[in-house]
């Protein structure tokens, strides 16, 4: 029968701590940076501090945004890779564009401007390639 002193000898305690440390480091460094909920930060192109007024996604990859550059100069931006990169789809000279909505990947609407001046209502039927007033 082993005694308490032999069972917990200094050599066995040191070996246990060593093996436990190796196991702990192995487990700790095998975790990946998996952000909760699948959210991660995306960046729009450099808009020189201008404000994005609205964003709409038709699916997980395709999306559109409206951005006012100056009082009457606006952009409609488009992404096809979930917001990783954005391209300027169209420049619009007129009232500010304030809201954008797509019913599917092709048909979309943009509104803006002051109601007392008639405002702006744009429509696309080809995924934002062309817009009609």
Between 97 and 1, the higher pLDDT residue: 97
Query: What CA–CA distances, in Å, run from 73 to 39, 66, 69, 113?
Result: 32, 11, 5, 12
- What is the C-alpha to C-alpha distance for residues 109 and 48, in angstroms, rounded to an integer? 25
User: For the chain, what percent of residues have pLDDT higher than 70?
Assistant: 77
Residue 133 binned pLDDT confidence (cut-offs 50, 70, 90): confident
For residues 133 and 128, give the distance between their C-alpha atoms in angstroms, rounded to a whole number: 13
Out of 31-35, 105-109, 119-123, least confident range: 31-35
């Amino acid at each position: 029968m082993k005694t308490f002193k032999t069972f917990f000898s200094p050599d066995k305690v040191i070996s246990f701590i060593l093996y436990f440390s190796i196991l702990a480091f192995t487990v700790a460094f095998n975790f990946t940076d998996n952000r909760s909920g699948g959210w991660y930060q995306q960046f729009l192109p450099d808009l020189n501090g201008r404000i994005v007024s609205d964003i709409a996604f038709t699916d997980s990859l395709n999306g559109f945004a409206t951005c006012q550059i100056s009082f009457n100069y606006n952009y409609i931006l488009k992404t096809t890779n979930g917001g990783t990169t954005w391209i300027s789809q169209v420049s619009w000279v007129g009232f500010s564009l304030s809201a954008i909505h797509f019913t599917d990947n092709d048909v979309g609407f943009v509104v803006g401007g002051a109601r007392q001046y008639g405002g702006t209502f744009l429509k696309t039927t080809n995924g934002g390639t062309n817009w009609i007033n």
